[in-house]
Amino acid sequence: MELQMLELYHGSPAANSLKALLPLKEKGVEYVSHYMNLLEFEQHEPWFVKINPNGQVPVLVHDGRSITESTVINEYVDESFPGVPLRPADAYGRAQMRIWTKFVDEYFCPALSFLGWHAMIRTAVKHLTPEEFEARIARIPLKEQRDKWRESAAQVWTDGQLEDWRRRVRTSIARMEEGLRGPWMLGEQFTLADVSLFSMLIRMPQYYAEIVNDRDSPRVIEWYGRMMNRPAVKETLAIQPPAGAERPRRSTGR
């Protein structure tokens, strides 16, 4: 077999970065980790925008060719590398899996992301002067992302907007509670549906305890406990940034 070079550009093990990190660990695939400091705006530097024109992580680079979009990355990894299969063997099962991953990408993740940015960005950019902040924002390739950075820093979102995103998060959890088919989302097989949902849920029992709790979502809580007990999850959550990294530093992912 030819030697293959696999690299992953990612942030801390949460949300879409966790989503791409976890399958590599579950399958035991070796890769080179490039840990990006998102709050230092590394993802908008021109060299990185050449790798992903959206200026976002995660990005997988396989033998020099990049693949963006965490859900696409995960199917690519499962299809391309040995290790435990993370997609059902049958077409109907794969369709069910994709209904969940699409739901996460189009509905659950955007709502959670707006709420997360509202809670976090203002404090995270407080040390910058307005001019420094604007200079960083100006490099963001997508207008929608520029708006999101500016609006969350200025805290312009209304209570109505925030409540609407919270409603979507509640709906997402209720959907999961109702849709869980067994120990894992689709039943007996652990799949990329579990990976996608867990990557969103990772901090929710702590930060959204009024939504994810024993009383309102007991099956989700049990599933979350099973997820947290997976050795690959434990190892992935333990991934730390390289000390003092100003630019992505190379470290071995496994």
Ligand X SMILES: N[C@@H](CCC(=O)N[C@@H](CS)C(=O)NCC(=O)O)C(=O)O
The residues near 63 (Cβ < 8 Å, ≥ 6 apart) are 4, 5, 6
Closer CB to ligand X, 43 or 217, in the complex: 43
Does 15 contact ligand X by CB under 6 A? yes
Shortest distance in whole angstroms from residue 105 CB to ligand X:
6
Parallel/antiparallel/unpaired status of strands 250-252 and 32-35: antiparallel
- Nearest residue to ligand X, by Cβ distance, number only: 56
Shortest distance in whole angstroms from residue 21 CB to ligand X:
11
Strands ordered across the beta sheet of 59-62: 65-68, 59-62, 6-10, 32-35, 250-252
Closer CB to ligand X, 57 or 153, in the complex: 57
Parallel/antiparallel/unpaired status of strands 32-35 and 6-10: parallel
Does 69 contact ligand X by CB under 6 A? yes
| Binding segment (CB under 6 A) for ligand X, from list 15-23, 178-186, 218-226, 231-239 | 15-23
Site map 141..160 versus ligand X, x via CB under 6 A? ----x---------------
DSSP 115-139: HHHHHHHHHHTTTS-HHHHHHHHTT
**What does the DSSP 8-state code read for residue 40?**
G
Closer CB to ligand X, 45 or 177, in the complex: 45
List the interface residues with ligand X, window 44-63 (CB under 6 A): 55-58
Instruction: Copy the structure tokens of residue 34.
Output: 């490039």
| Binding segment (CB under 6 A) for ligand X, from list 27-35, 66-74, 150-158, 226-234 | 66-74
Please calculate the CA angle 189-195-197 and round it to the nearest 5 degrees.
110
Q: Is 166 helix (H, G, I), strand (E, B) or coil?
A: helix
Does 70 contact ligand X by CB under 6 A? yes
Does 38 contact ligand X by CB under 6 A? yes
Question: Is 241 within 8 Å of 35 (Cβ atoms)?
Answer: yes
Question: Is 113 within 8 Å of 168 (Cβ atoms)?
Answer: no
Site map 165..194 versus ligand X, x via CB under 6 A? ------------------------------
Question: Is 202 within 8 Å of 14 (Cβ atoms)?
Answer: yes
Site map 78..117 versus ligand X, x via CB under 6 A? ---------------------------x------------
How far is Cα 219 from Cα 201, in angstroms, rounded to an integer?
13
Closer CB to ligand X, 124 or 174, in the complex: 124
Shortest distance in whole angstroms from residue 1 CB to ligand X:
28
Shortest distance in whole angstroms from residue 73 CB to ligand X:
7
Contact residues toward ligand X (CB under 6 A) are: 11, 15-17, 38, 43, 55-58, 69-71, 105, 145
